[in-house]
Structure 1
Amino acid sequence: MRSRKGSSVPPWMLAVAAMISVQLSSSLSVGLIAEVGPAGTAWLRLTMGAIIFLAIARPPLRSVRRNDIPTLLGLGVATGLMTIMFLAAIERIPLGTTVAIEFLGPLTVAAVLSRNRSALAWPALALAGVVLLTEPWQGSIDPLGVLFAAIAAAGWGAYILLTQRIGDRFTGIGALSLTVPVAAVTSAIVGIPQAAGNLSPTVLLGALGVAILMPVLPFILELTALRRMTSTAFGTLMSLEPAFGVLLGLVVLHQQPSVIQFLGITLVVIAGAAAQRGGDRNPPALIEPGISGPATETAITGGSGSKS
């Protein structure tokens, strides 16, 4: 077990690893979507993830205060909505385009919360890259797919803010065993009817695999990163995600980007790399009810806790 200050892994590196895991899961989910639909895939992924979190982490029920409940529920609902809308979008438009549009959520968080005017240059550069990635002048983008991605963007922005609040309140990753089940229940409303009759051992095994890649690994990595970064730095660093989306869309789904889209990738990579500088954050001491003094966080590399 290592303290937060003793962690040797830079927070931006944790965020990048989370992004790769998310996009790999997204690209591998396309086949599952064809079997059980986007909502069904979201429900299966989140349900599998909830089971895993409940198995490896003890829900910190005794540490939950009344004013924590809206944040926990809000994070769960935002996660469920974001997952459904994102998967619905990639069913209709390319993965890289979907991620680029969804990135507008954290981009907005970065721009709104930044107190340094010069820091707005990086979100602006990333936005230019996002425009090049989406190529709106082509006129061939599915409007419904774009709408789904835009709703996912709102969910992602809320996810960043609420995850940081939860990370500041609870040690380890135990809170994930509270929020991910809420996300699973949220997605079940439309996911169960869509998946009903199409479940099989192969589908369930595939859902387990993509659930490990998303939500399990990314949620753990992102929560840990957000405990040590500002929302602005984290949100702008997420500008790397469209690049990973386009790359894995090319490698796994054979979705060939244009030269202009490659230029967009370059812009968002530059913006994301620059944004991580000066993004470290000193989170408040974690004090659980009935315990005096700051709590110690279980490190990803050396503990048995779970992600929240």
Structure 2
Amino acid sequence: MPAPALFVASGLTQYLGAALAIGLFVQIPAPGVAWLRLVVAAAVLLVWRRPWRLRWTRRDLSVVALFGATLAAMNISFYLAIEHLPLGTAVAIEFVGPVTVAAITGSGWRERAGIGLAAVGVVLLAGVTLSLGSPGAVVGLAWILVAAVCWAGYILLGRKVAIGPDGVTSLSVAMAAGALFFAPLLAARSAPVLGSWGLVGAVVGVAVLSSVIPYGLEQIVLRRVSAATFAVLLAMLPATAAVVGAVVLRQWPHGLDVVGLLLVSGAIALTSVRRRPRVEAIAPA
């Protein structure tokens, strides 16, 4: 299968998982769903990658643990955001994190133009959300900005993890560490899942769709595409999320929403085109 088709499949499964998670929020609190996703995905990846076969130094484990805590915080804040915001809007605003990292670490006109486009796009998206008066819009916007900050930290830490001997194996340990870090806060809030096999199946579906399949497909894509192709593919993710939100959740974008999505997508393409295509730059939420 061509790499772009694999990337589209990865994005669709990722946001279909998010759409499925939204349906669970009425039975399990959003942070609980995010934590359960981490637990299940960590279990699957640990069984698959068997990290105990590698030799770990204390420094390696410290970096991976911090990476996992950041990843967990990003997922939890993203789920808290999509409890109040349309999926496409949330994903587009969250891209402020990686665009800002690219703008700060870069030095060319692309980075400066990218952060400008992203800023205008986010203002449009936030303005439309607030003007429509959706309940909890301010709360949702606050949480998605937290997710964007966490995503920036995820990229910076992910670069350190990615240069190790096995990035996916390190990811399995990071997910387990993140789940353990938030367990005292969220394990009790996830208790409703114990009362229904249907909820267990839905949570497993969220974890597989949003974490296991996308991460596996990304490993294939990243070995096939150039940096320029990767940038274009990355810019498709907000649009992919908007399509899933419209089709699955009936969250139809408005005119200015579409303009905002296009501006953010353009910013992603501009700021990504000169970066090496690393796994940590893919949308993880």
Range of TM-score over shorter length: 0.7 to 0.9
Question: Over residues 224-275 of structure 1, what are the superposed CA-to-partner deviations in whole Å (9 max), with x where a residue is unaligned?
Answer: 77799999x9799755433222221111100111111112222333344455
Relative to its length, the structure with more helix (as a share) is 2
Superposed CA offset, 1:192-249 (max 9, x none): 2212245310001011111011222333455677799999x97997554332222211
> Is residue 32–residue 190 contact of structure 2 (8 Å, CA) maintained in 1?
yes
Residue of structure 2 equivalent to 1:26: 18
Which of 167, 171, 177 in structure 2 is aligned with 1:176?
A: 171
1:210 counterpart = 2:203: no
Query: What pairs with 1:292-307 in structure 2 (closer than 5 Å)?
Result: none
TM-score, normalised to structure 1's length?
0.76
Distance change in 2, residues 1:281/1:194 (3 Å): closer
> Distance in 1 between the 2:121 and 2:160 partners?
30
Could you tell me which residue of structure 2 aligns to residue 114 of structure 1? 106
Distance (Å, rounded) in 2 between the aligned partners of 1:29 and 1:14: 23
Aligned to 1:255, what secondary structure does the other structure show? coil
Tell me, yes or no, if the aligned pair for 2:29 and 2:190 is still in contact at 8 Å.
Answer: yes
Distance 1:256 1:269, change over 3 A: same
Structure 1 contact 135–261 (Cα < 8 Å) conserved: no
Q: Structure 2: how far apart are the matches of 1:82 and 1:158?
A: 9
Structure index of larger Rg: 1
- Judged with a 3 Å threshold, the aligned counterparts in structure 2 of structure 1 residues 91 and 238 are, in CA distance, closer, same or farther, namely same
Residues 274, 108 of structure 1: CA spacing in aligned structure 2 closer, same or farther, 3 A cutoff?
closer
The question of 1:124 aligning with 2:119 is answered no
> What RMSD, in angstroms, separates the aligned Cα atoms of the two structures?
3.3
1:46 and 2:38 matched: yes
Shift in alpha-carbon separation, 1:225–1:279, aligned structure 2, 3 A: farther
Deviations 1:117-168 (A, max 9, x none): 3333233223322332232562736222211111111111111222222111
Query: Following superposition of structure 1 onto structure 2, how do residues 232-247 of structure 1 map, counting pairs within 5 Å?
Result: 238-247=234-243
Counterpart of 2:282? none
| Structure 1 match to 2:133 | 140
CA distance in 1, matches of 2:218, 2:182: 21
The CA distance in 2 between the partners of 1:222 and 1:74, in whole Å, is 22
Structure-2 separation of matches of 1:249 and 1:135: 19
Q: CA deviation at 1:59?
A: 0.5
Deviations 1:48-106 (A, max 9, x none): 10111111111056432232222101111011111111111111222222222222111
Q: 1:155 aligned to 2:150?
A: yes
Q: The residue matched to 1:135 in structure 2 has which SS?
A: helix
The count of residues paired between Structure 1 and Structure 2 equals 275
- Structure 2 equivalent of residue 66 of structure 1: 58
2:185 to 178, 190, 197: 190
Q: Partner amino acid for 1:184?
A: A
- 1:155–1:9: structure 2 CA closer, same or farther, 3 Å change rule? farther
Could you tell me which amino acid in structure 2 is paired with residue 215 of structure 1? Answer: S
CA distance in 2, matches of 1:124, 1:60: 45
Residues 79 and 155 of structure 1 are in contact (CA less than 8 Å); yes or no, is this contact kept in structure 2? yes
Q: Which amino acid aligns with 2:162?
A: G
| TM-score normalised by the chain length of structure 2 | 0.82
Distance 1:182 1:234, change over 3 A: farther
CA distance in 2, matches of 1:238, 1:244: 10
Q: Where do 5+ consecutive residues of structure 1 fail to align?
A: 1-7, 284-308
